[in-house]
A and B are shown apart, each in its own frame.
Chain A
Amino acid sequence: MIWRRKKSGEPPGADLASIDPAQHADDDLVWRPSDERAKPTREPRGSLLSGVVGSVVEAWDEVRINRTRVLLSLIGIGVAVCALATVVGAGTVFGQAQTEQFERDSGRPATLTVYPPFMESGVEAADTTLFMNHMDNVIDRYQISHATPRFRGSITAHLVNGTQYSAVQGVSVAYGVMHRVELGYGRWLTEADEKRLAPAVVINDGFYEELGRPDLRTHPTIVLGSEATTTAVIVGVLSPTPYESGLDLSMLAAPMRELVGAAASDQGDLSYELWVPEEQWEQLQQIIVRDVTGDFGEGWQANVNRSDYLAWGGPNPLEPLQWVIGGIAGLILLLGALGLVNISLVTVKYRVREIGVRRAFGATAGRVFFAVMMESVVATVAAGVMGVALAIVIVQNPAVQELIAPGVQDLPPFPIGAALIALGASAAVGALAGLMPALVAVKVKVIDAIRY
């Protein structure tokens, strides 16, 4: 290869082009062997980028060439990473299912439950109508998008096999969203149901069973009430829950009040639930307390509490399970790493000549160290990627999700955190496993290695 000086007008780098000497025999710009070649004034350091890229390329080449050996040694790592990512990913889905169940029971964070105010003396009950007007004002004034009254009581239901008492609650349409109402059949209450002459009801699965599971498309009805009766249309059936007992039905608040009468609410079975932003619930609580005094007068005490599950406190019920499975995954990872160290050490012994040749061609001790360690890291990260991919396939599989968290509404995406933790763990294991072989590689004597 002959290097020549750049002619004016040539593009940058043209001086580096190799040319055929036969074609340039008369070219006085071609450097002759006797010419002294340009010398650098100082020893340049290799650029960091090319050094890092070069090490990764070397490492990948080594992994590629020895893929069978590498694959065998990485099965343990891949399985461990998969287990690790699956545990965290499945834990997230399971946690979501638990969360949704909590939200069904207690409402979404942050839910404020407002009861009618009471007198400090405790002798006088708040007027229900005044309280309802007060709450309508609060909801309107503070533009609370999701709020519902909850009238609770019981009602007589006329069934084929006689009359039975059923628990009943009167709520608004928003209750369905606020409590993640999960329906087995039909639909939840809508705004249009307010205009019905025959009130719409949503019953629980036990109730539905009592009715003989009629087809909802036939608009089945039930007769409710004892003195004044009304015929209600069943529009939906709740999904069965393991702990449900007895008959239960929900309907819009207005028809319920008409049906049950003011008696139930006057007995204290009335409250309001407000779903408010988590960061503002305390402020709203204070405002509602203040407004009660304004609307009801001195001496009246507000009764406002945060009632969603996050206000309960207590340990995470999923934590023990996650620790056990995480511990098993960690153990597998450790065993995989030990196997990798073993194989890497043996491999380095067989690569003494190659390392010597690389040193002869300019690889510094640091570069050899980094490259050998990178081989391990590249291999384990590749195994980690495979493990995470497998974990995603497992966790996102509908059958697995149904097994882990049946009926979950908002399936969470595979958690990025789990993937990053698993990849980080695999890279860390690779670095630790590569450390010892890298130290051995650095100690290789170039002279002995080439003669080896």
Chain B
Amino acid sequence: MPLLSLEAVTRSVELPDFSHLEILKGIDLEVDVGDHISIVGRSGSGKSTLLNLLGLIDNPTTGRIVFDGAPLEKLSGGKRDRKRGRDVGFIFQQFNLLSGRTALENVMTPLLYASGRQFWRRRALAEEMLDRVGLSSRMASMPDKLSGGEQQRVAIARALVRSPRLILADEPTGALDVETGGTVMALLDDVAEQSGAALITITHDPNVAALARRHYRLDSGVLSAIDVRHMLATTLPEAAL
């Protein structure tokens, strides 16, 4: 049984003139435990909408999403929130670290919504996780005192501290230079693989996408599998996409 499956999922929104814009069209996707999937697409192709559906944040207009054997439509809001907190880790392009809080406090944040040992041992777990991403010396630093690469590593630690089964990375290197982006992706790939979590990376960077084992392209709301060699063969990523 796959960890996550999307069956004929569509997502449309109502426009001010009461017409409907279909952002995603008939998406079928299966994600297994330990998978590493990349999804590339131009701006406005529906990547973020798909990410929200994958992350149990949004509901499909039609179709079915099954997470861990449970159809999404059967989960109440609270249950879905709790499942998302426990099983899904988000990494955002702009890091979205909470200002005014140290790196350690940022990593502890998801654990505030846990229970049992994860909640009561949140400081130790967060310290352990920051150590894991090589930031044991920057735990007390505020986000604005960290470099872009360090901020994204904090974001990775935050996404992984509850040991999620699915990691969703939305343009994880979008705000980083090429070299730092490569380091961060290597770290993310490494940590995700060790934790056994499935990793879905949404990016427009073919080099980042190439790190995945399965590759998809989202174009005008349609998701299709692509050949990564073809993608990398193109010199300009924009031309390839």
* A residues in contact (CB < 8 Å) with B: 1-3, 13, 16, 18, 21, 31-37, 39, 43-47, 50-51, 53-54, 57-58, 61, 65-66, 353-354, 357-367, 446-447, 450-451
Whether, in the assembled complex, B204 has its beta carbon less than 8 Å from a beta carbon of chain A, the answer is no
Q: Is the interface of B mostly helix, strand, loop or mixed?
A: helix
A residues less than 8 Å from B79 (CB atoms): 43
A residues less than 8 Å from B167 (CB atoms): none
Contact at B58–A447, with CB atoms within 8 Å? yes
Contact at B82–A33, with CB atoms within 8 Å? no
Task: Please give the distance in Å from B192's CB to the nearest CB on chain A.
Answer: 8
Whether, in the assembled complex, B86 has its beta carbon less than 8 Å from a beta carbon of chain A, the answer is yes
How many residue pairs link A and B with beta carbons under 8 A? The number is 126
Among B78, B101, B160, which residue has its beta carbon within 8 angstroms of that of A366?
A: B78
Contact at B116–A50, with CB atoms within 8 Å? yes
A residues less than 8 Å from B98 (CB atoms): 354, 357
Contact at A33–B193, with CB atoms within 8 Å? yes
Decide yes or no: A362 and B113 within 8 Å by CB, A1-B191, A45-B82, A447-B57 being known contacts.
yes
A residues less than 8 Å from B112 (CB atoms): 54, 57-58, 363
A residues less than 8 Å from B191 (CB atoms): 1
* B residues in contact (CB < 8 Å) with A: 33-34, 48, 52, 55, 57-58, 68-70, 75, 77-79, 81-86, 90, 92, 96, 98-101, 105, 109-110, 112-117, 119-120, 128-129, 132, 158, 160, 162-163, 165, 191, 193-196
Taken together as a complex, chains A and B put the C-alpha atoms of A50 and B55 apart, in Å, by: 24
Among B33, B70, B113, which residue has its beta carbon within 8 angstroms of that of A361?
A: B113
Task: Please give the distance in Å from A280's CB to the nearest CB on chain B.
Answer: 56
A residues less than 8 Å from B195 (CB atoms): 1-3, 33
B residues less than 8 Å from A359 (CB atoms): 57, 81
Residue of A3, A34, A364 with most chain B CB atoms under a 10 A cut-off? A364
Nearest opposing residue in chain A for B112, CB measure: A54
Among B92, B114, B196, which residue has its beta carbon within 8 angstroms of that of A450?
A: B92
A residues less than 8 Å from B194 (CB atoms): 1-2, 21, 33
Given contacts A54-B112, A364-B113, 18 further A-B contacts (CB under 8 A): A1-B132, A2-B196, A18-B128, A31-B196, A33-B34, A35-B34, A44-B82, A45-B82, A47-B115, A50-B120, A54-B113, A357-B109, A361-B113, A361-B162, A362-B114, A363-B85, A364-B82, A450-B92
Nearest opposing residue in chain B for A354, CB measure: B98
B residues less than 8 Å from A357 (CB atoms): 92, 96, 98, 109
**Complex A-B: 6 CB contacts under 8 Å:** A34-B196, A51-B115, A61-B101, A361-B109, A364-B81, A446-B52
B residues less than 8 Å from A47 (CB atoms): 115-116, 119
Among B68, B193, B196, which residue has its beta carbon within 8 angstroms of that of A35?
A: B196
Residue of A3, A50, A57, A360 with most chain B CB atoms under a 10 A cut-off? A360
